[in-house]
Amino acid sequence: MFRIVKLFTLIFSLFLAASAYSQNPQQEKKSPEQIAAEQADRLQRDLKLNDYQVFLADSVLQKNIAGVTAEFEKMQKAGMQNSDNYREVQLKWRRMTEDAFQKFMTPAQFEKYLKLSGVSSKERKKRLAK
């Protein structure tokens, strides 16, 4: 049930720990495309997405994962270390992903996605009312 929440947490933790990956060559860093494909497959399984929805989810995830990665790298190069700034960027990209998903998922799929993502019932109602 919490697989998607754990997945999002893992992905964004990976982005925050990019410097640790460069120091440990034994771990293979996945590309945004690989991460997006894995997430899209999980969404297909968990939400019963059709092939077209999986294609759209993969496209959204590729764009947004690449975007958040680029923004995190830019922040790291600028020497930014405040975790609140990273959380704000993460939240911005998460909202963009949710907004895109809501456009092509059925209301039931989107509600389940939000629930699996750890969004509170109050916040889910607010997001579904959009």
What number is the average pLDDT over the span 71-95? 89
Question: Is residue 120 pLDDT above 70, yes or no?
Answer: yes
- Number of structural domains (the chain) is 1
Question: What pLDDT score does 130 carry?
Answer: 66
Question: What pLDDT score does 125 carry?
Answer: 77
DSSP for the chain?
A: --HHHHHHHHHHHHHHTHHHHHH-TTSPPPPHHHHHHHHHHHHHHHHT--HHHHHHHHHHHHHHHHHHHHHHHHHHHTT---HHHHHHHHHHHHHHHHHHHHHHS-HHHHHHHHHHTT--HHHHHHHHT-
Find, among 4, 19, 6, 16, the residue nearest to 85 by Cα. 16
Question: What pLDDT score does 122 carry?
Answer: 82
Confidence category of residue 21, pLDDT binned at 50, 70, 90:
very low
Q: Where is pLDDT greater, at 79 or 38?
A: 38
Beta strands in 1-130 (DSSP E): none
Average pLDDT, the chain: 82
Question: Is residue 67 pLDDT above 80, yes or no?
Answer: yes
Decide: 29 and 19 in contact? Cβ < 8 Å: no
Q: Which residue type sits at 53? A: Q
Query: Per the confidence metrics, is the pTM higher than 0.85?
Result: no
Q: Which domain holds residue 65?
A: 3-128
Alpha-carbon gap, residue 104 to 49, rounded angstroms: 10
Question: Is residue 65 pLDDT above 50, yes or no?
Answer: yes
CA dihedral 10, 89, 58, 48 (to 10 degrees): 70
Q: Where is pLDDT greater, at 79 or 45?
A: 45
